[in-house]
Amino acid sequence: MLNTNCEYLRPEIMDVLRAFDMEEGEFTHYFSYSGGKFLNVIEYGSEFYDFTDEFEPADDLEYKRFAKRFAKLAFYKTLSKTTGKNLPWGALTGIRPTKMAFAETAAGRDFEKLFKTLCVSEENIALVKRIMDVQKPYRGGGKSLYVSLPFCPTKCDYCSFITAPIQKTRQYVDRYVDCLIKEIESVRDIVRGVRSVYVGGGTPFVLSAEQLEKVYSAIDGVMPRGAEYTVEAGRPDVFSEEKLALSKKYGVTRICVNPQSFNDKTLEAIGRKHTAAQTYAAYEAAEKFGFDINIDLIAGLAEETCADFEKSVEAAISLNPANITVHTLSLKSGAKLKESVKRLHIDEISQMIALSRERLSAAGYAPYYLYRQKYQAGGLENVGWCKNGKECIYNIDVMEELGDNIAVGAGAISKRVFPAGERIERFDSPKDIPSYINCCAEKIVKRIEFFK
């Protein structure tokens, strides 16, 4: 439980506590500001820790920004001292570190200096620099289209995405697809000029070939061919030649084949209901069609050791995909696993992440985008890696918020990015499928207004 005399600092502080897996500790926090001095006093385990930082803010906005920064830093230093641990991102809790680094640079400041103040590790500063280099050519930004298909064969235990097992939602799929088609047609004028499309899930390939073709055909009707076009086909157990051929026919350029792990024991433990052999088969089938392929892995699953994870990284590399995305397990509410896993093995997961960076770099992969999520073990991150300049533009544009994202379907959040990314407006749709179907017509009208 956190007691603080400054409520607006609570979410920031909680982010730091969560990164140390210490949400439930007894902390009392006193904050005060006077004459350019920010004071943070933390009472923890009958000890007091006090920090004074000097800074003269130019306005209220800057005052709040620095109050948050110093409070986080005070908690980070206290916890680092009492636990004996340094976290790789230090007191930097934001979900878009690269966006922050670009913003600092654009403001004429040295992002490295800021990151060092926040106790970010040398390795992470170097990683951010590598990503910034890869992203430079894309910084102008572009519009993107997202199409949500939140249906899955079964629900994986660790997953907190808004998606349900198809057995529970099958009766809605046809109506859902009809709504989606109307939504796609309604954004015809808005999507003009988009440079990437992403059909995401869930697991889009859980739809029948007929349903999938309806969605593809609607997208084809509003999009000129030639944009990057990803389908998060998803779990290897739903792949088929027919659906891959259909994807090719409609101009899909990139397919996700997601094992998460190449260890059958782990896959069983997390309720994935497929095997590593099925991943190899799905990969081979997708490769024959000439798609760029992305492989998703997660570090920290079930009881995996670093050696288990290493096996998955090596297996992914041996397939030579254009992209490999390494996620750190994030346990949000909504995931079945949340109740069963009390403490994550943060040190071991950090080693897994370090290993993935070393192996992927040695295999010729470059990191091209990075994001963090709340509830991520050790406050670690997700990194997308690419080979031979095959970055996924969609991931860069959306994670860095470089351009408008026109998003349709249940739970989809459209974003309007105003010049220089300074202001961002969001437009969302209901997450549950019956409500989405119910208000689709109304959302169509409102989304057009939103993008005017």
Ligand X SMILES: C[S@@+](CC[C@H](N)C(=O)[O-])C[C@H]1O[C@@H](n2cnc3c(N)ncnc32)[C@H](O)[C@@H]1O
Could you list the residues that contact ligand SF4 (CB under 6 A)?
152, 155-156, 159, 161, 163, 201-203, 234-235
Q: At 361, list the tokens.
A: 């770099």
330 contributes a contact to ligand X by CB under 6 A: yes
DSSP string, 256-282: EE--B-S-HHHHHHTT----HHHHHHH
Handedness of CA 116, 120, 122, 127 (dihedral sign): negative
Q: Among residues 202 and 379, whose Cβ is nearest to ligand X?
A: 202
8 A C-beta contact, residue 260 and residue 296 = yes
Among 161, 289, 450, 451, binds ligand X (CB under 6 A): 161
Q: Among residues 238 and 366, whose Cβ is nearest to ligand SF4?
A: 238
153 contributes a contact to ligand X by CB under 6 A: no
Q: Residue 155's binding partner, choosing from ligand X, ligand SF4, none, with beta-carbon cut-off 5 to 8 A by kind?
A: ligand SF4
8 A C-beta contact, residue 179 and residue 128 = no
| Single-letter amino acid code for the residue at 211 | Q
* Minimum gap (Å) between residue 410 Cβ and ligand SF4: 13
Give the orientation angle of helix 97-106 with respect to helix 122-135, to 10 degrees: 70
Q: What are phi and psi of 370, to 5 degrees?
A: -150, 135
154 contributes a contact to ligand X by CB under 6 A: no
Beta bridge partners of 136: none
8 A C-beta contact, residue 153 and residue 191 = no
234 contributes a contact to ligand X by CB under 6 A: yes
* Minimum gap (Å) between residue 180 Cβ and ligand X: 17
Among 298, 360, 366, 440, binds ligand X (CB under 6 A): 298
8 A C-beta contact, residue 406 and residue 347 = no
Looking at 20-121, list the stretches that DSSP marks H as alpha helix, in order from N- to C-terminal side: 60-83, 97-106, 111-117
* Minimum gap (Å) between residue 299 Cβ and ligand X: 9
* Minimum gap (Å) between residue 50 Cβ and ligand X: 36
8 A C-beta contact, residue 313 and residue 357 = no
Binding map of ligand X across residues 237-266, x = CB under 6 A, - = no contact: ---------------------x-x------
Among 142, 163, 150, CA closest to 199: 150
Among 130, 137, 9, CA closest to 69: 9
Question: Which residue is associated with the tokens 């943070």?
Answer: 40
Give the Cβ contact number of residue 76 at 10 Å: 25
Q: Choose one: 94-102, 156-164, 303-311, 432-440; the region binding ligand X (CB under 6 A).
A: 156-164
Closest residue to ligand X, judged by C-beta, is: 258
Q: What strands lie across the sheet with 47-54, from one edge to the other?
A: 2-4, 27-34, 37-44, 47-54
8 A C-beta contact, residue 31 and residue 6 = yes
Q: Residue 232's binding partner, choosing from ligand X, ligand SF4, none, with beta-carbon cut-off 5 to 8 A by kind?
A: ligand X
Q: Among residues 124 and 263, whose Cβ is nearest to ligand SF4?
A: 263
Q: Among residues 73 and 233, whose Cβ is nearest to ligand SF4?
A: 233
* Minimum gap (Å) between residue 6 Cβ and ligand X: 31
158 contributes a contact to ligand X by CB under 6 A: yes
Separation of alpha carbons 291 and 322, rounded Å: 9
Q: Among residues 124 and 323, whose Cβ is nearest to ligand SF4?
A: 323
8 A C-beta contact, residue 296 and residue 323 = no
Residues in the interface with ligand X (CB under 6 A) total: 19
Q: Residue 160's binding partner, choosing from ligand SF4, ligand X, none, with beta-carbon cut-off 5 to 8 A by kind?
A: ligand X
* Minimum gap (Å) between residue 300 Cβ and ligand X: 8
150 contributes a contact to ligand X by CB under 6 A: no
* Minimum gap (Å) between residue 14 Cβ and ligand SF4: 25
Interface residues toward ligand X, by CB under 6 A: 152, 158-161, 201-203, 232, 234-235, 258, 260, 296, 298, 327, 329-330, 335
